[in-house]
Structure 1
Amino acid sequence: MFTGIITAIGTVSAVENRGDMRLVISCPFAPEAMAIGASIACSGVCLTVVDRGGEAGDAWFAVDVSGETVSRTAQDQWTRGRRLNLEQALRLGDELGGHIVTGHVDAVGRVASATGEGGSIRLSIAAPAEIAPFLAEKGSVTVDGVSLTVNEVSDQADGSCNFGLNIIPHTAEVTTLGALKAGDTVNLEIDVLARYLKRMESLRAV
């Protein structure tokens, strides 16, 4: 379980295909803080630490990424040199600063536009029809692992939608979102509460 509050940016430093894909990700965490078998969200994808090393401030950890995960996540995410938003799993007693995030990607979105607005960045993201009903103005959404508030939703004729986000300078600086441009793909996770409400609504309609 995660909160969507990013604690570091990591970089994919090595990729090895061995059936599943083995990635080595460099990061500023302390190696001893990353237990073997622990979960780390990598741009919104919950992955398991299978190896680790280095030293505090210049560490690395290894994860295995299945073909299923690759097929359901953002294009070119699992390539050497790719920067990833990192969050270690929530511990009992930690502050829930964002919202409850599972680390399971529901869909891949595409950046429709990224424009400056004051000191912030205004993002418009196109979301597919299967998750459009779960996106609401002032609701929560996770984009590449970052907990954000939806500013507006524009429904499209084909059932998809575009939703707007405001990325403040701090968020742009400490995550990868500040570098997004039109055409980039991003991992989307809907709010877990919206998921249950949609299910309850569908049962009432039967």
Structure 2
Amino acid sequence: MFTGIIETIGTVTQLQKEATNLHISLKSTITSELKIDQSVAHNGVCLTVVNISGDEYTVTAIQETLQKTTIGKLTIGEHVNLERAMKLGDRLDGHLVQGHVDQTATCTKAQETKGSWAYTFKYDSSLNNITIEKGSITVNGVSLTVVDSKTDEFSVAIIPYTFENTNFNTFQVGTEVNLEFDVIGKYVSRLNALNN
């Protein structure tokens, strides 16, 4: 379980295909604190640490993860939002995030707005995921509040701290991102579909 509050940025140092899996090595400031078999969210995708060497660690993404997220599109040198799993009893500064990406979306608007940034993302609404005004959404692992909710798109506003300390500062029109919709909203949507 995660909160969507990004701890640090990691840099992809190596990508190695093995059958249908992808081994991803990253360099980060939290590597020395990680342990083998620990869960870490990478752009919102929960992956398990399988190897640690110096200031680099490796995680493995299986085929389903590669098909449903942007993880398979990472490149050497790319920056990745990182968050370790929350500790029981910690403050929940963001919202409940599982690290299970529901689908991807594409950035259709990226604009500085006098000290903050506004981003709009379009997604496939046929998968029955929903957003609501002032509800929670996770974009590349970042816990955010929905500003403008529509059937197949939503907007978020980013404060300077988030812009500077996550990979939001690399987003532009056309950037593909990972989305995890609010877990309560997913259950409500599912119940509604079952009752109709």
* Band of TM-score, shorter chain: over 0.9
Say if 2:68 is the partner of 1:72.
yes
| Equivalences for residues 1-206 of structure 1 within 5 A | 1-19=1-19, 20-31=21-32, 33-54=33-54, 59-74=55-70, 77-131=73-127, 133-155=129-151, 161-205=152-196
CA distance in 1, matches of 2:177, 2:89: 30
Moved over 6 A (4+): none
Contact 1:121/1:178 (CA < 8 Å) preserved in 2?
no
Compared CA separation, residues 75 and 12, structure 1 to 2 (3 A): closer
Aligned to 1:158: none
Q: Matched residue of 1:111: which SS?
A: strand
Aligned 8 A contact 2:129 2:186 in 1: no
Separation in 2, partners of 1:151, 1:77: 28
CA distance in 2, matches of 1:7, 1:60: 16
CA distance in 2, matches of 1:75, 1:69: 7
Distance 1:39 1:146 in 2: 16
Change in Cα spacing, 1:12 to 1:133, as seen in structure 2 (3 Å) is closer
Superposed CA offset, 1:178-199 (max 9, x none): 2210011000000001011112
Q: Say if 1:131 and 1:190, in contact at 8 Å, map to a contact too.
A: no
Once residues 87 and 107 of structure 2 are traced to their aligned partners in structure 1, the CA distance between those partners, rounded to angstroms, is 32
2:31/2:52 contact within 8 Å kept: no
Gaps of 5+ in 1: 156-160
| 8 Å CA contact retained: 1:39, 1:89 | yes
Instruction: Normalising by structure 2, report the TM-score.
Output: 0.94
CA distance in 1, matches of 2:129, 2:58: 36
* 1:141 positional shift: 0.3
* Distance in structure 1 (CA, Å) of the matches to 2:115 and 2:53: 38
User: Could you give the per-residue CA deviations for residues 85-138 of structure 1, whole angstroms, max 9, x where no partner exists?
Assistant: 000011111111100001111111000010111111110111111356521110
TM value normalised by structure 1 = 0.89
CA distance in 2, matches of 1:60, 1:75: 18
Percent identical pairs in the alignment equals 38
Cα deviation for residue 67 of structure 1 reads 2.0
Structure 2's unaligned 5+ residue stretches are none
Cα distance, 1:71 vs. partner?
A: 1.4
